Structure 1
Amino acid sequence: MAEEARMEEETHEKSVLSPILESMEVEAPADSSHGEDSESDSDSDSDSEANDKLQVQTLESELYSNPSNYDAHVQYIKLLRRMGDIQKIRTAREAMSSLFPLTPATWQEWAQDEAFLNSGPDTFPSIEKLYERGISEYLYVPLWCDYINFVQEHDPSICECSPAGISKARTLFERAVTAAGLHVAEGNKIWEAYREFEQAILLTIDESDTEAREKQLQRIRSLFHRQLSIPLVDSESSLLAYKTWEVEQGKAFDIESNDLDKTFPHVSSAHKKAFDMFNARAQFEEQISQQNLSDAERLQHYLVYLKFEQSMQDPSRVNILYERAVTDFPVSADLWLDYTSYLNKTLKVGNVVKDVHLRATRNCTWVGELWVRYLLCLERCRSSETDISAVFEKSLQCTFSSLDEYLDLYLTRIDGLRRRVSSAGETKDPLDHLSIRDIFQRASDYLSPHLKNTQTLLHLYAYWARLEATLGKDLVACRRAWESLLKTCGSMLEAWQGYIAMEIEFGNISEARSIYKRCYTKRFPGMGSEEICYCWLRFEREFGKLEDFDYAVQKVTPRLEELKLFASQQEARIIDPNESNVKKNREKKRSSTDATHDESPAKRKKEAILPIRSHGKKKSQPENAIESVETQDVNAKAEESDKIHEQGKKDAHLDKSKVFTDQLTAFVSNIDLKATNNHLSEFFSDTGGVKAIRILHDKFTGKSRGLAYIDFVDEEHLSAAIAKNKRMLLGKKLSIARSNPKKNRKDSSGHGSGEQNSEAGKSFTGDAVDNRGEQSGVSHTSRPAAGKRGSENVVLKGKNTFAMPRSVRPLGFTASKPEATAGEEEKPKSNDEFRQMLLKK
């Protein structure tokens, strides 16, 4: 083992020494045979050096502007180490370690560099501190081995085998065994190093000192026994080494046999138990040691392994496995949360738990729950107020994903101060109460703009006011907190009720009455306005005089009548049978002329002048003259109608090619008819996320119908918009709900919901063909061929019915029309026969 350590040291010496010697500009001896090669090498080295300097300047600029760039720190240190800039690399490593926990390999490299460059006794304490800092970050057995070897080689007291030095070494070995002795895969390295040290101490004891030698032999034997009782890799080799050692000490038994059962039965039984434990864990160790797995798969194997160890109910083994897991996955927030939760439930050693919480927050600074647990851990460990305050301030400098995490941090800090003040009794420090007020104020300043009109903000202020009244004995400050809340959440009924309830609780009846007088005329969502009026009446019945009750009735009665009238008007506007009947009558009247209104002038003109063609004959001149006059009248009326409704059609027109799915859409009704897109955009400006606004217009008049669809970018903004239901806009209370399109809406429609489709459809009461023709842009009077019609369920029969409208029955039609005999074809009538039939009629 000593030989391996020496070879590693020589390799490391070459890796570190080469850039350092290069930076010292040592002149090489002149050699004429290699002059040209030396010049080329010199040019190449100068180019490489210039490139390295340029990269260093770039990285320094990057780190100055963004110190949190972890990868830039790593590249900067790597480049400085290659250049051999000792002073800069020390500064860079210190800067990085103050911001991030360094990896075990980085600590190992740093300590080895410093140990090589400064091997004197004066520098030993600083290097020892480096190792101590490294082993405190993660569980890394190679770093522990390096630390142990460094101390044995460079500590003067240990090298001299003085009692103090031996005691110091044993203390360090016991720390290493406690930290990594249960490591199934690498723990045996610590045990072997410990035994080798004790065996070296045995060689320093004089042969004549029998008592000291026997005591040292027993210490070595005890180490063997401790190691054999732990499930470790290659435990059979350890057993063989133990038997060999016992034989060397004069024990007479066969190494290959099981004589150990007779000589040391307790050791044999402990080793068998440890061997069985190792076999139970062998499959888990194999799974987490596979290198070809992804990080997610390896982490999952760790979690399965942890569940198994927890089922064994051995906290020390669970703790070791957690340390191994966080070493391999240091930025897994779920792993740290699981680890800290387990320690808080099982392990009661304050320093160990506190250290784990500290490392958790250093590795996952963005997880608010870890900071909360750290603050609670410090409080359980009876840490000083200075330490707790420092951790709290540091946590607020981090960036969290939600406001709830910030709120939880503020409340945790306030809770701790409250408990501190409550437990202090009469000797409480007034500064603690001022600290509580300061944190409440900071929480309010940060959270109020984001949590306006929410129960969360209400609970925060209610907590603040209560502590001001109970701990601070300051009703003025208590009322100040409530008034501050009302400035932000004055439209919340619960805020006023909480204020009133607090005044009643403290017996301030007149102050509660004054609050009722301030708020009974306010408009609250839903039935809140009526509720506050009835609450005032109930309050006066329970606490007031007759004069107070009469005054409340005098004020509340007209207010309730006003609210009742307003509610009835709103209901009438939403559902009015008379208005519905009038609307239906208008639609029936309109259905007879809607085809003419919707058709383009060119089509109406074409239909009006289109002659009824007969087979092989033209119309007479009088008939053509009559039709010409009628055509002019129809065209004039059509042009006049187009001018009247042209502007309304432009406003109400929607892109027929665009289909609205209404997946993230709010349906808004009861809108003032004068409201525009700008009004609605301003109304929803506080919620944000508005993607599109579609106000519905009447297709004939072009006027607003008081309905609109608001499209949002995501579910969160849509929910915030729906929460504004019953708010006022231009003097009218809006009704806001999530759009719920009908399942059977027509895909060809460009409208955004089934309700809108149904509203549009009410304008037409003709047959289904007319409605479809309008929606698809087909004229009502222009009849296409059967193969191109909008309806697929129309069946045309016979030879002369290709141009016959469905709603017109054939002339001479009777219900009991005789069927054609078999084999007989229907003979078409000539024009003369057709005229004769008309004359008879």
Structure 2
Amino acid sequence: MGLTPRASRGPILTPKTMPSRTFSFKLWRRSFPATLPTTKLMYRLLRKMGGIEKLRLAREAMSELFPLTPTMWREWAKDEASIDSGPEAVHAIEKLYERGVLDYLSVSLWCDYLSFVLKSDEMVCDCSSADISKARNLFESALTAAGLHVAEGIKLWEAYREFEQAIFQTIDPSDIQAKEKQIQRIRTLFHRQLSVPLVNMRSTLQAYRAWEMEQRNDLAVESSDLDGVPSHIVSAYQRALEGYNARVHLEEQILRQDMPESEKLQQYMIYLKFERSSGDPARAQVLYERAIADFPISSDLWLDYTRYLDKTFKGGNIVREVYCRATKNCPWVGELWVRYLLCLERGHASEKELAAVFGKSLQCTFSTIDEYLDLFLTRVDGLRRRLSFTAEVEDVLNYSLIRETFQNASEYLLQHLKNTNGLVHLHGYWARLELSLGTDLVAARGVWEDLLRICGSMLEAWQGYIAMEIELSHINEARSLYKRCYSKRFPGTGSEDICRSWLRFERQFGTLEDFDHAVQKVTPRLEELQLFRLQQESKSIVERENPLKKNAREKRKPGSDLIQEQSLAKRQKDAAQTSKKLYGKDKAQDSNLVEPNKVKEINAEVENENSKNEQQMKDAMTGKTKVYKDQCTAFISNINLKANSEDLHNFFGDVGGVHDIRILHDKFTGKSRGLAYVDFSDDAHLAAAVAKSKQMLLGKRLSIARSNPRKSRKDLSGHDCQMEHVDATGDLP
């Protein structure tokens, strides 16, 4: 299955210079506050030169890149107001303020916004009952955004009360009903404010009592602050005062001017933990907004904020708007984009909006390739869920979008994910959806074939392809895949694993003839791999013993190991030809099934000759016939299989003179055999070591004797055997 040509799907960025681009963008974004004086100077020069239009375009372009500071929004609005004060200009300036208060929480910007509306909007200034609601709605929005700001929220409350009191003065004294209604509105504002923990709460209470006295209520002048105040207002005020006292120390910490930024951010996190534990999401959100205003590009803060909103509000416009700002402030954080897409999906956003956000995310530069992979998979997950589980599917939504996303992901990530499990997972997911949603078996196989052309040396790619065919009960197709890959060279023990996997497959699904055929193919391959690994282990031991040989080997070409493996295959082939000569053509063909012992004897001869050649090469390079001669050596048996060289060294610590320790391991499993040789510096130390026989080590009673290679002893099974010298790998021959 070929991929659709790139040109037919539009341009797409590739992350070729991710680290450098990410670093440069973040450095520029972090240094932006320091460049504000230069930016302001540029703005002033443009004003003097009469370049207001150019200035407007520059600001618009900058606001597209990232949120502007409250100061910049304020200056922009003032510049626009100085040009024109007509109705259209007033509406445009209001839009600027509206955009500004959405970027960052700023009580000062809200106050400017409210002041501008009250002074410039003629309908509000005329106090028309039909249009005063506009100002009230704006005040309510301001209180929702910043009314819980402990340090500065009082400014908005007082401005709101002053506005309502100004309206009260314009009401005709004869209109008793309207005046009473306005009085009740002002009283409600006082009650609401007194229930919120803010600075100067006592002065607010005193202002409330003074206002009530003006309304000719029976409040004694010399009484205490709470005398005559309704009981429910007193209770709310006392709770708010307790809340303020609990926060006043935390407020002092974040408002300090002599504190380093890192410490200030830490104080914010302590304060946020307190607010989250208080159980008031609105207060916690306002504090998060205050922290964001001070640390706009702290990715950890944005991640913590959005995580809290996801948990608390479970989607909705509030969370969606915060994610939009988060990705605008920290576009290099892939996790924010992933969670933004999930938030949109929870909110049942349209495909158009989801596609737009996904497209924006691909224009960003992330620090790791895994972030790109996670982003593509999140997009596919969303499309799959909407196609599979949504009752009402949009007309534009079909499986072709999933296929196109996978194609883009494959091209986008191939350079960085080649021969990785991430790419295998991506193609496995793709093939599975081609079957379940696309109902196209040919396309699913094409996905795996494309992957094998790219990552044919990965065992996981073949295993995934085979697993799909087995799951579909396509036994012959799975068998053909085993035949294609069993002779390939995979890293680690992958070559042996695929051979044994084929045998297990034939046991479960094949006939006896299929199993015999697999055995005939796999057996020589396993023997070849075993011989190759033994020689590699032998070489590694020799290299450790003789650094000169190691240096010589390092100068060999990188492909020498592969050449040697090929030579081993050639020797196996020669052995098969020899068997044909000895036993006839027909017998040679069935040697693995009819006369396996004869084939093993021939292979043993080949291996014996190879080992002789190897030993001759060792002797020529080292000048020695044996690495160890066992002249002052103790042979230890019945060792705990978990014991290591350090344990044995500590065991003989009171004896001393330990020169070398060789624990014997099984050649095939690599596990300890419970046997070891310990070399000592002289016979006196060796005799003292033998005297420790029958003592305990890690729960096992050791058997210690002097090693004598020429003396016949009995092995663990009770049969007579010759105690030959241990080979250089530490394994028994």
Higher relative contact order (CA 8 A, sep 6+): 2
Partner of 1:676: 555
Contact 2:195 2:239 in 1 (8 A): yes
Task: Name 1:504's counterpart in structure 2.
Answer: 470
The corresponding residue for 1:437 is 403
Equivalence for 1:469 = 435
Tell me how far apart the structure 2 counterparts of residues 455 and 522 of structure 1 sit (CA, whole Å): 19
Tell me the residue number matched to 2:15.
none
What letter is aligned with 2:527? E
CA distance in 1, matches of 2:380, 2:510: 37
1:145-171: CA deviation from partner (whole Å, max 9, x where unpaired): 111111111112211211221111111
Instruction: Measure how far apart 1:239 and its partner are.
Output: 1.1
- Are residue 358 (structure 1) and residue 324 (structure 2) matched? yes
Partner Cα distance (2:169, 2:498) in 1: 92
Q: Which residue of 2 aligns with 1:452?
A: 418
Contact kept, 8 Å, 1:306 with 1:321, in 2: the verdict is yes
Rounded Cα–Cα distance in structure 1 between residues aligned with 2:165 and 2:315 = 33
One of 245, 258, 264 as aligned partner of 1:292: 258
Q: Partner of 1:450: helix, strand, or coil?
A: helix
- Which of 163, 170, 173 aligns to 2:129? It is 163
In 1, are the aligned partners of 2:219 and 2:228 still within 8 Å (CA)? Answer: no
**Aligned residues: percent identity?**
60
Structure 1: unaligned runs, 5 residues or longer: 1-62, 588-651, 653-668, 684-726, 734-758, 766-841
In the TM superposition, what whole-angstrom CA distance separates every residue of 1:520-561 from its partner, at most 9, and x where no partner exists? 111112222222122212212221223322322232232223
The structural deviation recorded for 1:330 is 0.5
The 2-side partners of 1:573 and 1:260 are apart by 93
How big is each residue's C-alpha offset from its partner over 1:372-414, in whole Å with a ceiling of 9 and x where there is no partner?
1111111111111111111111111111111111111111111
Q: Report the CA distance shift for 1:534/1:440 in structure 2 as closer, same or farther (over 3 A).
A: same
2: CA distance, partners of 1:761 / 1:242: 105
Inter-CA distance 729–562: structure 2 relative to 1 (3 Å threshold)? closer
| Contact preservation (8 Å) 1:180, 1:320 | yes
1:193 to 159, 177, 201: 159
SS where residue 269 of structure 1 aligns? helix
Distance 2:253 2:189 in 1: 30
Alignment gaps of 5+ in structure 2: 1-24, 567-620, 628-733
Distance 2:396 2:120 in 1: 53
- Say if 1:484 and 1:671 are closer, same or farther in 2 by CA, change over 3 A: farther
After superposition, the C-alpha distances for 1:418-451 in whole angstroms (9 at most, x for unaligned) are: 1111124696868531111111112111222222
- SS, match of residue 449 in structure 1: helix
Q: Quick one: structure 1 residues 150 and 571, their matched pair in 2 at CA, closer, same or farther if it must change by over 3 Å?
A: closer
Q: TM-score by structure 1 length?
A: 0.61
From 376, 400, 406, the equivalent of 2:342 is 376
Equivalence map 1:81-160=2 (5 Å): 81-160=47-126
Distance 2:73 2:440 in 1: 54
Question: 1:151-550 maps to which residues of 2 (within 5 A)?
Answer: 151-258=117-224, 260-348=226-314, 350-424=316-390, 431-550=397-516
**Cα deviation, residue 760, structure 1:** 11
Give the whole-Å Cα distance in 1 for the aligned partners of 2:95 and 2:40.
Answer: 22
Distance across 2 between alignment mates of 1:319 and 1:560: 64
Alpha-carbon deviations, 1:623-670, whole Å to 9, x = none?
xxxxxxxxxxxxxxxxxxxxxxxxxxxxx8xxxxxxxxxxxxxxxx97
Evaluate the alpha carbon distance shift between residue 388 and residue 149 of structure 1 in structure 2; reply closer, same or farther with a 3 A threshold.
same
Q: Is the 8 A contact 1:671 1:729 kept in 2?
A: no
Q: SS of the counterpart of 1:164?
A: coil
For residue 207 of structure 1, report the CA deviation from its aligned partner.
1.1
**Tell me, what secondary structure is at the counterpart of 1:306?**
helix
Q: Cα 1:507–1:84, aligned 2, differ >3 Å: closer, same or farther?
A: same
> What does the per-residue CA deviation read over 1:705-764, in whole Å, with 9 as the maximum and x for residues that have no partner?
xxxxxxxxxxxxxxxxxxxxxx9455469xxxxxxxxxxxxxxxxxxxxxxxxx9999xx
**Amino acid corresponding to residue 268 of structure 1 in structure 2:** V
Give the alignment of 1:710-789 within 5 angstroms. 728=561, 730-731=563-564
User: Taking structure 1 as reference, are residues 109 and 512 closer, same or farther at Cα in structure 2, changes over 3 Å only?
Assistant: same
CA RMSD of aligned residues (A): 3.0
Instruction: Check 1:670–1:540 CA distance in 2 against 1; reply closer, same or farther (3 A cut).
Output: farther
Q: CA deviation at 1:190?
A: 0.5
2:651 corresponds to: none
8 Å Cα contact 1:253-1:259 kept in structure 2: no
Q: CA deviation at 1:309?
A: 1.0
Tell me the distance in 2 between the aligned counterparts of 1:67 and 1:341.
23
CA-CA distance at 1:81 after TM superposition: 3.6
Instruction: Give 1:83 shift.
Output: 4.0
- How many residues are paired up? 542
CA shift for structure 1 position 260:
3.7
- Structure 2: distance between partners of 1:121 and 1:366: 41
- Give the letter for the 2:344 counterpart: L
Q: Structure 1: which amino acid aligns with 2:555? A: T
SS across alignment from 2:492: coil
The Cα shift of 1:69 comes to 9.5
Change (3 A) 1:473 1:194: same
Could you say what secondary structure the match of 2:416 adopts?
coil
More displaced stretch, 486-495 vs 103-112: 486-495
Separation in 2, partners of 1:518, 1:478: 18
- Quick check: 2:30–2:297 contact (8 Å CA) kept in 1? no
- CA deviations on 1:777-809 (whole Å, 9 max, x unpaired) are xxxxxxxxxxxxxxxxxxxxxxxxxxxxxxxxx
Alignment partners' CA distance in 2, 1:426 and 1:469: 22
Q: 1:428 to 1:274 in 2, by over 3 A?
A: closer
- The answer to whether the 8 A contact 1:421-1:429 is kept is no
AA paired with 1:570? Answer: Q
TM-score normalized by the length of structure 2: 0.70
Once the two structures are superposed, what CA deviation does each residue of 1:94-129 show, in whole Å capped at 9, x if it has no partner?
Answer: 111111110011111111221232212232211111
Structure 1 pair 214/425, CA: closer, same or farther in 2 (3 Å)?
closer
Q: Which amino acid aligns with 1:434?
A: S
Distance 2:175 2:519 in 1: 106
Residue 451 of structure 2 contacts residue 461 of structure 2 at CA under 8 Å; is this kept in 1? yes
